[in-house]
Amino acid sequence: MALTSSFFADNRRRFADRLPDNTVVYLFAGEAKRMSGDTDYRFLPDRNFYYMTGLERAGLILVIEKKAGVVNDILYAPAHDKIAERWGGKRPDFEALTAISGIEDIRNEDRFDEEAMAEAKDGNTGLAVDGSSIMDAPRSFTDKITTFGVKPANIAPIITDLRLIKGEDELDCIRQAAKITEEAIAELKPYVKPGVTEYELYTRLEYEMARRGSLINAFETIVSCGTNVFYLHHADPETSGDGVAQEGSVIQIDVGARCQGYCADISRVFFVGAPAEDDKRVALHGIIKRLRQAAFSYIAPGRTFAGLNSQMYDICGRWLAAQGLISDNFCVGDVQKYYWHNTSHYLGLDVHDTGPKDRAFTEGNCLAVEPGIYIPEWGIGFRIEDDVVVTSGGCELLSSGTDELEGIIAD
């Protein structure tokens, strides 16, 4: 599976269609972050830049010009440097950059400052940047052009609108990322037994993800057991204490592969040892299964995150009251003592993808759906999470949606 240059060219075309005439937009891939000394972290580009180009090389700059109704795409790139390649690894030449992005006008980065500053001095064209970028380059560029009295427009909302609606190519990437993730999680089951540590399961999960093609995952892998399940983003697997599985433990897995830049977000749970019929783990699994099905039934065009949460609070609250954990006359605050996080979020090039949380769902939105309940009095808590796309009649699973109790018991 590969996103072609035509996919990225079409993204640029749809973006340019929304630009006012006589506008020049500057998007930056960003720079690799320094880990220590002369060693960098593995580079991931700004996600809006990637959406427009498909390129994952540091230092690249995309310029989209719309003048007198004519659109031109220009890419500025570092010149080919054999010495830099010797130390840092093979880098795509200009032909390779064109093959990936579909951009034919590729210029040496040495020309960028002069040409961009000339545009700023001219004053007849509106300049724009991605105001949502977390990279340093857009801010540095903005500082430079403001010396000419230019205040660049923020085009991030336009790209957000485009990214919110996923096409079939993007959905295929998320399906593949979910498939990789679920296959990797399934490989853990034979190793889930009393005495296994979070660290052992974490390293095996990372290996299974990497060998299936996800070298950089969507987020830091979470493996937690014991009371560590009460730390939602427990990303430091332990080798002792609460990090060691015991008979009767719950092990929470929360992980996501990345495919062609697109993320999966999957949460699963394992029970260490076969539960009895009155096991609290079984009761908790049953209500979370109900919540998931209710969430899938609720999601449809015109519905909202707030409405989804409200429905979850109602179902969960009645169950919590039946368990004697809260009063029958409960309020949302009572439920939130045990239902700690929102039920859903956007999913795409970021695991918590861009998009306004108060906007009604639209066909093509991708969502991660993750009802979870955490009960310190019982010593257990977990979430089960799957990925869906909003369709004309409701939603469709992009992951397997498996929730059968037999599949999570390791004995």
User: Which pLDDT score, from 0 to 100, does residue 89 have?
Assistant: 83
Let me know whether 211 and 260 are in one domain. yes
Residues in the chain: 411
Let me know whether 116 and 188 are in one domain. no
Examine the pLDDT at 237 and tell me if it is beyond 90: yes
Of 163, 196, 227, the residue that ends a domain is: 163
| Alpha-carbon gap, residue 63 to 81, rounded angstroms | 23
Q: How confident is the model at residue 209 (pLDDT cuts 50, 70, 90)?
A: very high
Q: What is the number of other CB atoms lying within 10 angstroms of the CB of residue 64?
A: 22
Let me know whether 212 and 357 are in one domain. yes
pTM over 0.85: yes
Q: What percent of the chain has pLDDT over 90?
A: 83
372-375/366-369 β-pairing: unpaired
Q: What is the pLDDT of residues 256-290, one digit of tens each?
A: 999 999 999 999 999 998 887 779 999 999 999 99
Domain count of the fold of the chain: 2
**Highest mean pLDDT range out of 35-39, 70-74, 92-96?**
70-74
User: Which pLDDT score, from 0 to 100, does residue 75 have?
Assistant: 98
Half-sphere exposure of residue 299, counting CA atoms within 13 Å on the CB side? 27
Let me know whether 203 and 306 are in one domain. yes
Let me know whether 42 and 176 are in one domain. no
Q: Which domain holds residue 122?
A: 5-163
| Least confident interval from 77-91, 120-134, 287-301, 366-380 | 77-91
Q: What is the pLDDT of residues 197-208, one digit of tens each?
A: 999 999 999 999
Q: What is the 3-state secondary structure (H, E, C) of 392-407?
A: CCEEEECCCCCCCHHH
Let me know whether 152 and 203 are in one domain. no
Examine the pLDDT at 411 and tell me if it is beyond 80: no
- Residue 140: give its domain's CATH number: 3.40.350.10
Let me know whether 284 and 231 are in one domain. yes
Sign (positive or negative) of CA dihedral 321, 325, 327, 329 = negative
Long-range contacts from 36-42, C-beta under 8 angstroms, 24+ separation: 42/216
Of 143, 163, 183, the residue that ends a domain is: 163
Let me know whether 221 and 154 are in one domain. no
Let me know whether 200 and 318 are in one domain. yes
Let me know whether 180 and 39 are in one domain. no
Let me know whether 142 and 219 are in one domain. no
Of 163, 180, 214, the residue that ends a domain is: 163
User: Which pLDDT score, from 0 to 100, does residue 316 have?
Assistant: 98
CA distances from 192 to 68, 234, 331, 358 (A): 64, 18, 38, 40
Let me know whether 47 and 121 are in one domain. yes
- Residue 308: give its domain's CATH number: 3.90.230.10
Examine the pLDDT at 241 and tell me if it is beyond 80: yes
Q: How far apart are the first and last CA of the chain?
A: 37
221 token code pair = 């892998």
User: Which pLDDT score, from 0 to 100, does residue 91 have?
Assistant: 86
User: Which pLDDT score, from 0 to 100, does residue 340 have?
Assistant: 98
What's the rounded mean pLDDT across residues 17-27? 97
What does the radius of gyration of the chain's CA atoms come to, in whole angstroms?
Answer: 24
Examine the pLDDT at 211 and tell me if it is beyond 90: yes
Q: How confident is the model at residue 407 (pLDDT cuts 50, 70, 90)?
A: low
Pure H helices in 64-197? 82-88, 94-101, 112-122, 136-146, 156-164, 168-186
User: Which pLDDT score, from 0 to 100, does residue 321 have?
Assistant: 98
